[in-house]
Chain A
């Protein structure tokens, strides 16, 4: 069965520090997508990234970067030079059916990040 584990329940950092959020997954599929979402205090989930399993290149988007390692089933998310606006709950997710279209997601329990000014 599909499973996503985010072992870090809460993290607090001081502004401008770098922080890495861990995500470990289990899947029966050989090809699959992985996702990261951000949930600010307002509650709505905001899409951050989708990664296909056959693309193991790291991705960088501004202060955000993602490290995907298929060998260790991990898809970690790093925020560089954190800001107060980064304070949110971050979720890692995996489709219940690999890389099929229009399939529900299995979510980790999330990591609450607090960035202190």
Chain B
């Protein structure tokens, strides 16, 4: 079955630690996205990539980094520079003008 997988489902980070969230898709989609969701808020764009080896910052990119070395994969690293990383992180992908498909999300908590 085609879809988007995110791992881990839950992630705990200590202060000053970098962590990486995984996002993989087997839909052969060109574009991939990372959104952050805080309680009671809509989704906000962190980074997106429309093609391999290229990506653009979203509204809240500070303290995050990404890579797009393969079409299927778009990992997100939350660095120690991100002062308030506790949130729900959603990865999505799309092709052409179709809707975005979302993964199940990763819930990150800072200890």
Contact = CB atoms under 8 A, between A and B. Distances in A.
Interface of A: 4, 6, 9, 33, 35, 37, 42-47, 50, 91, 96, 99-110
Given A45-B90, A108-B42, A109-B42, A101 B97 contact: yes
Interface stretch (B19-27, B66-74, B99-107): B99-107
A14 B101 CA distance: 31
B2 interface: no
Contact of B88 (A6, A33, A43, A103): A43
A91 to B, nearest CB: 6
A8 B96 CA distance: 32
Number of chain B interface residues as a range = 20 to 34
B59 to A, nearest CB: 9
Given A44-B105, A102-B95, A109 B41 contact: yes
Interface of B: 30-31, 33, 35, 40-45, 48, 50, 58, 88, 90, 92, 94-105, 107
Given A44-B103, A91-B43, A105-B45, 12 more contacts: A4-B42, A35-B99, A42-B104, A96-B45, A100-B97, A101-B94, A102-B96, A104-B33, A104-B58, A109-B42, A110-B41, A110-B42
Main secondary structure of the interface of A (DSSP, over half): loop
Nearest to B93: A102
